[in-house]
Structures are given as structure tokens and as C-alpha cells.
Structure 1
Amino acid sequence: MPGSKVTAERATDDVVPRMAPPRAAGARRRAGRVAGLFLLLVLLLVGVVVLLIGQGSIDVPVGDVLRILTGQSTESQTHRTIVLDARLPKVVAGLLAGSALAVGGVQMQTLFRNPLADPFVLGVSNGAILGASIVILGTGGVGWLSGLGVVSQLGVTGAAVAGAAVVLLIALGIARRVGDPVVVLVVGVMLGYLAGAVVDMLVYYTDPDRLQALTTFTRGSVRNVTWSELRIVAAVCGAVLVLSVFLAQPLNALLLGERYAASLGVHVRRIHILSLAGVAVLSGVVTAYCGAIGFVGLAAPHLARGLLRTADHRLVLPAGALIGAVIVLLAEYVAGGNGLTGTSLPLNSVTAFVGAPVILWVLLSGRARREGR
């Protein structure tokens, strides 16, 4: 009947608009949640920066901190000197190191398809520690390399970069010949163990009075980074962060397998080499200037994916960078004696309190998924 036909059309018209908006509304809610999360992370990062700069042996009011950071004049020249010369370099170093390590962790976990991979699995950080150990333990008046002026002039940082470069070249050479990321992972772990064994031998045959400097270096710290050193750290970390922007889409394709990525036109081997090279360089430089900062590159990517509820690298990479920066700066706040302890602690000891629970969460959640819970 005509009336029934009109009624059916009206019913259809009523149903379609009601079904379409929920999808659009769901997309808008997801976009709003993601935008809110990023805004929260940015505000948290700004708050941690202001907190870390303002508190210390001499407290600087928040108003003075904000005025100094924005280039305005303040009444106290002492506060300006403390903020710009003493505290701002370590804050920027921690921000850059945390962001770069987190971004490197995202890439490593995707390349190796291993949730427990991080930037240090290539053994580059251990190579940097080995180079620094040779200078710290082997030079000076009582060192067994005190007669080698070249080694002394190279310095701790230069030797750390050189040690990281040697391991990097070995790892990339093997990656270029083999092309299998799993083999590169195993080689990196073995190189790390080998470098660690050499460091242990150096420690065994060294005067105990010289071990304190090495202990400080291996525990990680951003407190001693100067503005001149920060230029190098900023250049390397900035380059890795920019590179990650161009790698986001190919990494998304790799999530579905190398064959699928290759069918989309992704040069899989080139992406592997670029990612490994970038992460290895940043690991060596961060270790050389800030010491070995562990767990950040492991924990931040999982926190980013869990908060965003997605593995899309276009979102996970920037979120991981913000989370990594917050973790390092909060850890430095606690480790620097400004937090709950009231005394200075190794940076790695604090980041482990964040990284270890995340590792356990990843392992337990993975087991629960395999058991179908």
C-alpha cells in the first residue's frame, strides 16, 4: 500500500540518521580523549619542569621561574643565575634524553617484535660504558694508561662516544650483511655482555679509590651536563626525533609483518638500518653525556600504548616522548635529593621503580591474553 511504503521510507530515514551519528560521535570521543591526554601530558611535563627548576638547596619561587624562562626581568640576579646556569641545562638534558630513549624504545619493540626490547639491547650503551671506564680507571697519576696522553686528552665523554661508535659499527655491519633483526638483537646482547665483562676485569685490577667516578657514570645522571655539551645532545636527540616522524608510517606497516609492509612499497631493510642507526647513535650519546639511564625506553612505550589504546606510531611516538621526558625529570627530582628521600640517589635506581612494574604488567597481561582470559 502507498501509505505503508511511505511509512517504511520514513522509518528507514529515521533509522539511518540514528545509526550514523554514534559512529561519528565515537570517533569524536576518541579524538577528544586523545587530545585531552596529550594536553594532560604537556601540562604535566611543564609542571615537572617548573618544579625541578624551582626546588633545590635554594628554592626559587614559581613566579620567578616563569619570568626567567619567558625572558622577563626579576629582582634577584642570584635566582636568574641558578635557573639559567645551574638547573635549566639538566632539565633540558633530562627532557631530551627521556624523549629520545622513549622514541627509540618504540622503534626497537616494533622492529624486534619484542615487548621487552629497548634502545640498549644493541649493546651500544655498554660500549659507551667500556670507553668511559678505560679513561676513568686507566688514566691519572696511578692509572695503568697514565702514560698515554691521547687517552687522557680524549676525556670520559669522548671515550664513551668512541666506545659506542665501535659497537655501533659492528652491529650495523652485521645488520647490513644479515638483515635479520633477531640476529642483530642477539649480536647486540652478546656485544653488551662482552663489553660488560671487560669492564668487570678493569674494575678488578683497578685501585678502589678510582671506582666512585665509574659508579656515578654507570648509574646515570643529568646533573653535570653543561650548555656546551647540551648542544651535542640536543642535535643528536633532535635528529632522532625528527627521523621518527618519517618512520611512523613504515613502522605501522611493519606491525602487520614484513611481507605485508613490502607489498605496500616499504623498503623493509632500509627502515631497519635507519631505525637501528638512529637508536644506536642516540644510545651512545645519551650514555656518554648522561650515563646509562635504564628502563625509560622500555616502560614509556608501553605506558603510551596503554593510555592511548592504540599501536599507531603517529600517536604512540609523540606520547611516548612526552612520557619518557616526564619519567626522567620526575626521577631526577627524586634522585637529586629534592623529593621524598632528602638525599641524592642514582637515577637508575629511581627509574627502575617505574620500569620494573611495567615489565611485570607486560608479562602478566601477555600471559593472560594467551590463556584467553
Structure 2
Amino acid sequence: MGKGAVAAVFALLVVLVLAVVVVLITQGSVAIPLGEVVRVLTGRGAESEITRTIVLDARLPKVVAGLLAGAALAVGGTQMQTLFRNPLADPFVLGVSSGAVLGAAVVILGTGGVGWLAGLGVVSRLGVTGAAVAGAAAVLLIALGIARRVGDPVVVLVVGVMLGYLAGAIVDMLVYYTDPDRLQALATFTRGSVRNVTWDELQIISIACAVVLGLSVYLAQPLNALLLGERYASSLGVNVRRVHFLSLASVAVLSGITTAYCGAIGFVGLAAPHLARGLLRTADHRLILPASALIGAAIVLVAEYIAGGNGLTRTSLPLNSVTAFVGAPVILWVLLSGRSRKQAR
């Protein structure tokens, strides 16, 4: 694909994301004209304090959280598909998000953790965030260790699914033996939502995601080398262990952060990289990573709108209920296209 076509694809993706952002901010149970939104965002004042509150405190945090969560999950999925050499790898499918939920659940439902952190606001969320990152990292390390020993992408995928079920079973046991009054705090982690993120929490999410997404730019070229195998990458002077460590650490942080604040949002990290490769007709991470980030952000924002978070439906649905409609067809497409290629050989 030529440079002009690549630029056109990126321009289209940016326009798509901006269009969804505008719709999410202006449309809802209370419609707000775009001009009024612009006045609020530029600090020129709004016609009413209610309008300002709706835009700045209700809708804008949700939109920013959706942008960051979608971009983070998509970049994490792209890196995992390269590291595991598995087109079906992503934080949700391989159980990484489930590990993050388990880590968060231990802090939220744990006897000591909640008692110490319940009244500390953002500090409490930091405790949940750290536990979510640790849980995601633990599952990632187990999955990578099995991948190196077995080498079969299908086996790794099955093991990842089993790890996800195991983490989910442990969470269910914790829920069963926990005081019912504490269960509401855990509800968002199992369903996925960007509707309750506050500006204080966004400061943490933004800093973490900015650092790790910036790191992905540095990893783009080494990941390109890894597409042809670890030995080939080493022959080019790539420090394979460092790339593995940085990639796994970034995926764990991204998965842990997004899960701690937005819940376990599924299928975005799986679908976005494949859609990016299909649009750009390349596997170059220098293009795929930013394109995946834009597509992931668009998927989460569109899913949020469809799920009813902005007044489209009377009942708000979990994000996972909507993102599955994108992720499931992509899984089938990857499986069927891979089988067709094998039969053609």
C-alpha cells in the first residue's frame, strides 16, 4: 500500500474516532448542541450550569476513558499476538484480564485490604490498580512459560482460556464467602464499563497509558524483527529478552490499569489488530500499533454508545455484551481464513 493510501486510512480512522466522540458528548437523554459543547470545552461558559456539569462531569470523562481503554487494549493485543505468535491472542482471550480481575477482587473483597483502604479515595484505587497489574502479570508469565515449552499456538490458547476460567472460579469463591455489601464494588470489573470513571482516576489512567503507549513506539521495530523468529531477531542485534520483558510489562500494566478502572473489556485487543492489518495490508508494527489504537478506541466508544451509556437504550448494558459482536466474527474470520490457507497449500 502506498504512502497516500496509508495516510488516507489514518485520516479516515481519526475522523471516525472524532465523529464518535462528538456523538457521545452531544447525544443522550439530554441532547446538547455542538456549539454549546465547544463553548464549555473552551471555557467560554455555558448557557446553564446543568449543561456544563453534563459535559464536563458526566460525558467527557467517559469519552476519555473509552479512548484510553480502547487504545491500551488494542496495543496490548497487538504485542501479545506477536510475542505468542498466535493470531487469537489478546488480554481477554488468554486470561490476562481475568487475572487482573482476580487481583482487583482480592483487594476489594479481602478482609484487610478493604478495611485499610476504604476511605482513602484515589489511594484505594491505586491499591486495586497495583493488584490488577500483578494479577495480569502473573497470568502473562504463566502463559509465556507454557508457550516456550509447548510452542503450539492452539495449546497456548487453550491454556490461556483455562487460566481465565480458573481465575474466574477463584473470584466466584471469593464472592461466595464475602459480605454481600462489598459485592457492588466488584460488579464493574466483571462486566466492563467506562461510565463511572472520575477525573481523579483519569489522571492515573492517562499517565500510565501515555508512558506505556509511548514505549510501544520504541518496541515497534524490534517486534517487526520478532515476526520472523527469535533467532532472526537476535542476528539483527535485537535483545530478545529485553523486548519480551518490556512488552510483557507494558501489556500487564495496560491490562491491569484498564481492568482496574473500566472492568474486563473483552475482544477489543483481539479484533483491532486484525482490522488494522486488513485495512493497511501490512504487518509493520510502526503502522499497525497506531492504527490498532485508533480502531480500539473507536470500538470501545461505539460499543459504549450502543450499550446505552448515553441514553440510546433505556437499560445500560455491559460493554462486553457489545464488543463480543465485533470480536466473535473476527475470531471466526481468523480461524476460517487460516484453514483456507492450509487447504490451499
Shared fold per TM-score greater than 0.5? yes
* Cα distance in 2 between the residues matched to 1:240 and 1:148: 28
Corresponding position: 1:161 with 2:121: no
Corresponding position: 1:58 with 2:42: no
Residues 133 and 357 (structure 1), Cα distance of their counterparts in 2 relative to 1, 3 Å cut: same
Corresponding position: 1:366 with 2:338: yes
* Cα distance in 2 between the residues matched to 1:327 and 1:181: 35
Where 1:371 maps in the other structure, the secondary structure is helix
- Please, what is the CA RMSD of the aligned residues? 3.0
Residues 368 and 73 (structure 1), Cα distance of their counterparts in 2 relative to 1, 3 Å cut: same
Deviation per CA, 1:21-65: give whole Å up to 9, x if none: xxxxxx7xx222111111111111111001001112221112212
1:325 maps to which residue? 297
Deviation per CA, 1:268-289: give whole Å up to 9, x if none: 1110110000010110111001
**Kept after mapping to 1: 8 A contact 2:305/2:312:** no
* Cα distance in 1 between the residues matched to 2:16 and 2:299: 11
Corresponding position: 1:106 with 2:106: no
Corresponding position: 1:304 with 2:276: yes
* Cα distance in 1 between the residues matched to 2:100 and 2:25: 29
The alpha carbon displacement at 1:180 in A equals 3.3
Residues 101 and 153 (structure 1), Cα distance of their counterparts in 2 relative to 1, 3 Å cut: same
Deviation per CA, 1:196-253: give whole Å up to 9, x if none: 2211212333466764543333101111111110011001111121011111111111
1:273 maps to which residue? 245
1:350 maps to which residue? 322
2:4 maps to which residue? 32
- Between 119-128 and 279-288, the greater mean CA deviation after superposition: 119-128
2:187 maps to which residue? 215
Counterpart pick for 1:42 among 5, 14, 35:
14
2:104 maps to which residue? 132
- TM, length-normalised to structure 1: 0.81
* Cα distance in 1 between the residues matched to 2:58 and 2:311: 18
**Kept after mapping to 1: 8 A contact 2:175/2:183:** yes
Deviation per CA, 1:68-100: give whole Å up to 9, x if none: 334444433322221112111111011011001
Counterpart pick for 1:294 among 266, 272, 286:
266
Where 2:6 maps in the other structure, the secondary structure is helix
Aligned residues: 339
* Cα distance in 1 between the residues matched to 2:343 and 2:310: 44
Amino acid at match of 1:56: G
Corresponding position: 1:149 with 2:115: yes
Residues 153 and 131 (structure 1), Cα distance of their counterparts in 2 relative to 1, 3 Å cut: farther
* Cα distance in 2 between the residues matched to 1:368 and 1:339: 42
2:236 maps to which residue? 264
The gaps in structure 1 that reach 5 residues or longer are 1-26, 139-144
Amino acid at match of 2:74: A
Where 2:344 maps in the other structure, the secondary structure is coil
Map residues 60-209 of structure 1 onto 2, 5 A cutoff. 60-120=32-92, 123-134=95-106, 136-137=108-109, 145=111, 149-150=115-116, 152=118, 157-168=125-136, 170=138, 180=148, 191-206=163-178
The alpha carbon displacement at 1:121 in A equals 5.6
* Cα distance in 1 between the residues matched to 2:148 and 2:119: 39
**Kept after mapping to 2: 8 A contact 1:295/1:351:** yes
The gaps in structure 2 that reach 5 residues or longer are none
* Cα distance in 2 between the residues matched to 1:267 and 1:239: 21
2:221 maps to which residue? 249
**Kept after mapping to 2: 8 A contact 1:168/1:277:** no
Amino acid at match of 1:150: W
Residues 150 and 190 (structure 1), Cα distance of their counterparts in 2 relative to 1, 3 Å cut: farther
The alpha carbon displacement at 1:136 in A equals 4.8
Deviation per CA, 1:294-325: give whole Å up to 9, x if none: 11001000000001111111111111000000
**Kept after mapping to 2: 8 A contact 1:225/1:289:** yes
- TM, length-normalised to structure 2: 0.87
Residues 111 and 225 (structure 1), Cα distance of their counterparts in 2 relative to 1, 3 Å cut: same
The alpha carbon displacement at 1:340 in A equals 5.3
Corresponding position: 1:237 with 2:209: yes
Query: Which of these two proteins has the greater Rg computed from alpha carbons?
Result: 1
**Kept after mapping to 2: 8 A contact 1:135/1:151:** no
* Cα distance in 1 between the residues matched to 2:79 and 2:126: 27
Q: Which has the higher contact order (CA 8 A, sep 6+)?
A: 2
* Cα distance in 1 between the residues matched to 2:114 and 2:294: 43
